[in-house]
């Protein structure tokens, strides 16, 4: 196997661990939406993050409720140009379930890693809730909300 192929296999195995206990069935498919969000965030690509959302999707961050991909992308352009430039997400699924046909709920815990960090700082540990919907045989993000887990 070539070095490049070996690297791709290793990355695929590492990425697969992000599914935790939810690798199969519709739960795994619904969780894929949260993982697509994470992958787009890790690329610091506002358009890619916004593309994960449905047209009527909402991203709730703190006191902000960003409605629709256009508002989400505009907000993230500033975020990725500022203090979160080069940031990545570390999240593990806590619960994933189908709550109605074509509607999935995923709860993940983790946080934002800034460049050079290996652990999430206590003030950035959070719980994220993702509501995914299946529309036209494609899963999209209807709502994503993060809440700090400081206590």
pLDDT grade for 62, boundaries at 50, 70 and 90: confident
In this prediction, residues 46-61 reach a mean pLDDT of 93
3-class secondary structure per residue, the chain: CCHHHHHHHHHHHHHHHHHCCCCCHHHHHHHHHHHHHHHHHHCCCHHHHHHCEEEEEEEEECCEEEEHHHHHHHHHHHHHHCCCCCCEEEEEEEEEEEEECCEEEEEEEEEEECCCCCCCCHHHEEEEEEEEEEECCEEEEEEEEEEECCC
Tell whether domain 3-148 is in CATH 3.10.20.30: no
Residue 32: the pLDDT is 83
Residue 35: the pLDDT is 85
Q: Is residue 129 scored above 90 in pLDDT? A: yes
Tell whether the model's pLDDT for residue 111 goes beyond 70. Answer: yes
Mean pLDDT of 98-105: 92
Encode pLDDT of 10-20 as tens digits.
554 454 555 55
Q: In the chain, what are the domain boundaries?
A: 3-148
Angle made by CA atoms 132, 81, 53, in degrees to the nearest 5: 15
Q: What is the pTM of this model?
A: 0.82
Beta-carbon neighbour count of residue 11 at 10 Å?
10
Q: What is the mean pLDDT of residues 122-147?
A: 92
Mean pLDDT taken over the chain: 84
């Amino acid at each position: 196997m070539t070095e490049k192929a070996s690297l791709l296999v290793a990355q695929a195995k590492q990425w697969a661990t992000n599914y935790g206990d939810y690798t199969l069935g519709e739960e795994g498919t619904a969780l894929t939406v949260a993982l697509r969000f994470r992958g787009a965030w890790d690329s610091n690509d506002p358009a890619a993050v916004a593309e994960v959302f449905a047209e009527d999707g909402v991203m709730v961050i703190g006191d902000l409720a960003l409605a629709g991909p256009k508002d989400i992308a505009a907000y993230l352009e500033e975020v990725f140009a500022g203090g979160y430039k080069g940031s990545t997400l570390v999240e593990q699924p806590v619960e994933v379930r189908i709550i109605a046909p074509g509607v999935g709920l995923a709860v993940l815990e983790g946080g934002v890693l800034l460049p050079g960090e290996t652990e999430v700082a206590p003030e950035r540990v959070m719980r994220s809730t993702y509501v995914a919907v299946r529309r036209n045989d494609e899963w999209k993000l209807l709502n994503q909300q993060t809440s700090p887990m400081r206590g």
